[in-house]
Amino acid sequence: MNLIYNIFVYTIWFLATYYVVLILLILLIGRDKLYEKARKSLGRKPWVSIIVPAYNEEAKISYTIESLKKVIYDKIEFIIVNDGSKDSTPETVRHAIGGDPRFIFIDRKQNKGKAASLNEGIARSKGEFVATIDADSVIEPRMISKVLPYFAEREVAAVTVAVRVKNPKTILHKIFELEYIIGLSLMLKVFSFFNGIFVTPGPFSIYRKSIMEKIGGFDEHNITEDMEIAYRIQKARYRIENCMSAKVYTIVPDTFRQICVQRKRWYSGAIYTLAKHRDMILNKKYGFFGYFMFFNYVLIFMGLFLFLYSTYLLAKNLLENLLYFQYTSFNFLNQLKYFELDYLMLGRTTILGIIAISFTILALLVGLYFTRTSASKRKMGVVGYPFLFFFYQWFWILSIISVVRGKKAKWR
Amino acid sequence: MRVKRRIFLAAFLITAFMLLTILLLGNLMNLQRKEYVEDKMSIISDLNEIQTYTLMSDVYGNKLACLAFKKKLQEWDQTLWDLGLKLERYRVATEEFQKDPFYQEQKKKFNDNQVLYMSFLTKVNRDCELNVNIISFFYQNSEECKKCDDQSFVLTDIKRELEDEVSIFSYDMDLGLTNLDLLKEYYEIDQYPCVVINEQRFCGMQDKSFIIRKVCETNNLSVCTKYAIG
């Protein structure tokens, strides 16, 4: 078993390091392109519709509406779809809209889900391009003029932007702020360099409506419709671009429990989406995307297995050690007193682990540098960032259990 | 920007190079470990001093030789103990993919040397009335002897606490050494783990307080008063 375990550790180390090295290389080579504007211009001002699905958003939606009111773009309409909220969302929306004629409010009494709300919004929209924004997110005023030029290339079906955390206050917020900066901003840009974007984030993404209609809009049976649509765009051989200079600010749940609920939805949705589009995996027909997804999930599930098995070994070891102490009247002090630091006691596997941790920290610091984010102002987040690894494993375990039990998480 | 294939290849080559470097570093550390073990083993395998002391004892009598023994025994005991610990730890750090015959070989040498030192210490103990506490621990691999690791832990703990007040020798009975078989016969060991405390045999798992109590029955130790035993 020891041999198999070690081979497994080496394999996963190689795959994970390869992934990080690849990202770092791409960043190094493409560092001038990260914030580069779209190469072509649309040369015209098309109509844009922004759809805001809302379910029980009375506390946050007014901020979203306020930010939409500040959007600097002439040919724009905002469609707010109330998805049968049980709170005072409709009243809050009406009050926040005031007399602004750019807003359309669809007040649906029945709850049908986020994807259905988005599809209804798309059906009612007149824009050549439709954007979706979560009802707890705010966008910057020049968002539309920043993202539209990417559509000058006919094969571009969607454009994602940099997703940032709005007002991070707690330590959890600060850790997840860094995750968003790296994962939902920088990585999306890097993935766009090899057409590997597999999610058009809910906080804000914009789509070419004609393509959305062609591929059938959002999947109303999927709990992560923003991921599922990205797979179908890739499947139809269109491209998803990323504009890193455009930012949307969204809210991270306050408690770990709430984050778990959110992530359970995201990750179990990811499993359902992968299962639905399994024909794309390692399929040449879909270009690099199929291989990238395979690599991604192999890494995730191998990582999870390694984590679980290592945790088991650690727990077993700890228990055994604890049992040893029963013979010495639980004299722990004796052990601590004779702790010896001898680098020759480190095996290769331990060295692999040390390098992996160093690489995670290096990747984070490089990522912050390329996103022009000050690490010194986010000390707490930087220190807590490595703990994300453990959080992820927990989220995946929850999600896998949820999928196995056939429980579908709701979008809110 | 479109990522070219050669970037994927470059990343692969860099990662492979890193892995190779780690493997080489591991090999280098293996060599250093072996060097350390061989170095220490050559110290304990040097029998000149023992022969000299034995001869001095015969020629000049016990009184003079005992003084010299007392000084030297402590040093030998510590070297042996440290090497025993390092041998085990380095073996674990080394054997990631396969068992290294080097450590098996060194372990045999180490056990042989332990028998030699223990015999010498027992003789000196009698001749010079040194009252050194000697504990011999006979064990098998943990698959066959579930409690052997537990016993080893207890003895390590005792050695750490009592330091030079006690000399502990651990014998791996799986090595099949003739010396160890003789000891087994002499002490009539019929099960593992088994400890011989100042010539008294106790087979089966023994906890710390029992062992200390037994040591305190023969000699006074600092812990005897501390634990109010004996």
- Per-residue pLDDT tens digits for B153-195: 999 989 888 888 899 999 999 998 999 999 999 999 999 999 9
- Which residue has better confidence, A219 or A329? A219
Q: Please tell me whether residue B201 adopts helix, strand or coil conformation.
A: strand
pLDDT of residue A375 exceeding 50: yes
Q: What local confidence, expressed as pLDDT, does residue A341 receive?
A: 81
Q: What residues of chain B lie within 8 A of the CB of A194, using their CB?
A: 2-3
Tell me the pLDDT tens digit for each residue of A285-332.
998 899 999 999 999 999 999 999 999 999 998 998 888 888 887 877
Q: What is the pLDDT of residues A141-188, one digit of tens each?
A: 999 999 999 999 999 999 999 999 999 999 999 999 999 999 999 999
**Domain residue extents for chain A:** 2-27+291-405, 41-255
> What is the pLDDT, as a whole number, of residue B62?
74
**Cβ-nearest to B90 among A21, A328, A344:** A344
Sheet containing A129-133, strands listed edge to edge, beginning at the edge strand earlier in sequence: A103-108, A76-83, A48-54, A129-133, A204-208, A156-165, A239-250, A138-139
Which of B105, B112, B132, B106 minimizes the C-alpha distance to B39? Answer: B106
Structure confidence by residue, pLDDT tens digits, B38-67: 998 888 887 777 788 778 777 877 777 777
B116 touches chain A (CB under 8 A): no
| CB-closest option in A30, A323, A328 to B208 | A328
DSSP-derived 3-state class of residue B37: helix
Q: Are A48 and A206 in contact (CB under 8 A)?
A: yes
Question: Is A38's pLDDT higher than 90?
Answer: no
Please report the residues numbered 134 through 153 in chain B whose beta carbons come closer than 8 angstroms to any beta carbon of chain A: 149-150, 153
Q: Do B11 and A324 touch (CB under 8 A)?
A: no
Could you tell me if B191 and B204 are in contact, meaning their C-beta atoms sit under 8 angstroms apart? yes
Highest-scoring range by mean pLDDT, A207-221, A330-344, A348-362, A366-380: A207-221
> Given this model, what pLDDT does residue B141 score?
85
Q: List CB contacts (< 8 A) between B89 and chain A.
A: 342, 345
**Is residue A337 less than 8 Å (CB to CB) from chain B?**
yes
Contacts of A6 in chain B (CB under 8 A): 96-97
What integer is the mean pLDDT of A363-373?
90
Q: Any chain A CB within 8 A of the CB of B28?
A: no
**DSSP H stretches of helix in A194-287:** 209-215, 225-235, 256-276
Query: Residue written as tokens 């988005």?
Result: A118
Place of tokens 């455009």: A246
With the CA atoms of B218, B222, B225 and B227 taken in that order, what torsion angle do they form, in degrees rounded to the nearest 10?
-90
Q: Which among A13, A326, A351 has the least Cβ separation from residue B26?
A: A351
pLDDT for residue A361:
87
A275/B contact by beta carbon, under 8 A? no
pLDDT at A410: 59
- Rounded average pLDDT over B100-127: 89
Measure B48 CA to nearest chain A CA, in Å.
Answer: 30
| pLDDT the model gives residue A349 | 87
Predicted complex: ipTM over 0.90: no
> Are the Cβ atoms of A327 and B208 closer than 8 angstroms?
yes
pLDDT of residue B173: 93
Contacts of A26 in chain B (CB under 8 A): 3, 7
- CB proximity under 8 Å: B 37-56 to A: none
Tokens 């402590």, residue located = B74
- Summary mean pLDDT of chain B: 87
- Predicted confidence at residue B81, as pLDDT, reads 86
Residue B23, token pair as written in the block: 């493997």
Distance from the first to the final alpha carbon of chain A:
44
pLDDT digits (tens, 9 = 90+) for A339-353: 778 889 888 888 999
| Whole-Å CA distances, B117 to B3, B45, B122 | 68, 10, 8
* Interface contact B92, partner A, CB < 8 A: yes
Nearest to A351 among B8, B22, B157 (CB): B22
| pLDDT band (50, 70, 90) for residue A1 | low
Q: Which residues on adjacent β-strands are paired with residue B172?
A: B139
CA distances from A143 to A44, A160, A249, B61 (A): 16, 11, 12, 99
CB contact under 8 A, B153 and A327: yes
Residue B27 has pLDDT above 70, yes or no: yes
Our measurement of the distance from residue A273's CA atom to the centroid of its chain's CA atoms, rounded to an integer in Å, reads 14
Mean pLDDT of A35-63: 90
Q: Residue B185 class from Cβ within 10 Å (0-12 exposed, 13-18 middle, 19+ buried)?
A: exposed
* Of the candidate ranges A93-102, A380-389, A400-409, B135-144, the one whose mean pLDDT is the lowest: A400-409
Put simply, the answer to whether A25 touches B154 (Cβ < 8 Å) is: no
Query: Chain A, 189-208: which have a CB under 8 Å from a chain B CB?
Result: 193-194
- Mutate which: A325, A327, A338, vs B, most B CBs within 10 A: A327
Determine how many CB atoms are found less than 10 A away from the CB of residue A384: 17
Contact (Cβ atoms closer than 8 angstroms) between residue A215 and residue A139: no
The CATH architecture that domain A41-255 belongs to is: Alpha-Beta Complex (3.90)
Side by side, the strands of the sheet bearing B194-197 are B166-172, B133-139, B194-197, B200-203
Closest-CA residue of A relative to B148 is A324
Q: Could you tell me the pLDDT band of residue B230, with boundaries at 50, 70 and 90?
A: very low
DSSP classification of residue A87? S
Please give the pLDDT value at position A397: 95
